[in-house]
Amino acid sequence: MAKSKKLAVFRNRSQSLQTIKTNALQRSEIPPSGLNEEVSGLLTEARDQIDAKIAEIMARYPPGKKNKMFALKYGSLERIKKMTMKNIFTHLNIVKLNKFALIESLDYFGAKIQ
């Protein structure tokens, strides 16, 4: 049974789903290029809120199915991080920060989205 091709396919499929993890990016990896201190501070605070909300949502799901169930309901993490802050906060039902208007058109990494 260990050499069964059908079981190997299932094993590979389940392992590939488990390898998708939420990688907490180091703040030094995401340089807020060209942003003033106030905006970069708000962006960091917003990222912390987003990461906390994603972790909270994923904690509700069973251990082996967290990423898949999150992706089914909310979309992939990569897709979410490419959205504007305004869309991310609305999509994940997060309460907006004070002076949110300064960062609402930025994406998760601080790039301006048109």
**pTM given for the model:** 0.68
Q: What pLDDT is recorded for position 64?
A: 86
Q: What is the mean pLDDT of the chain?
A: 80
Residue 30: alpha-carbon gap to chain centroid: 14
Residue 95: alpha-carbon gap to chain centroid: 16
The rounded distance, in Å, linking the Cα atoms of 53 and 108 is 14
Say whether pLDDT at 42 is over 60.
yes
Q: What pLDDT is recorded for position 14?
A: 66
Closest among 61, 48, 59 to 88, alpha carbons compared? 48
Say whether pLDDT at 53 is over 90.
yes
Where is pLDDT greater, at 7 or 26? 7
Closest among 52, 57, 31, 55 to 97, alpha carbons compared? 52
Say whether pLDDT at 107 is over 80.
yes
Neighbours of 110 (CB within 10 A): 20
Q: What pLDDT is recorded for position 16?
A: 56
The answer to whether the CB of 76 falls within 8 A of the CB of 54 is: no
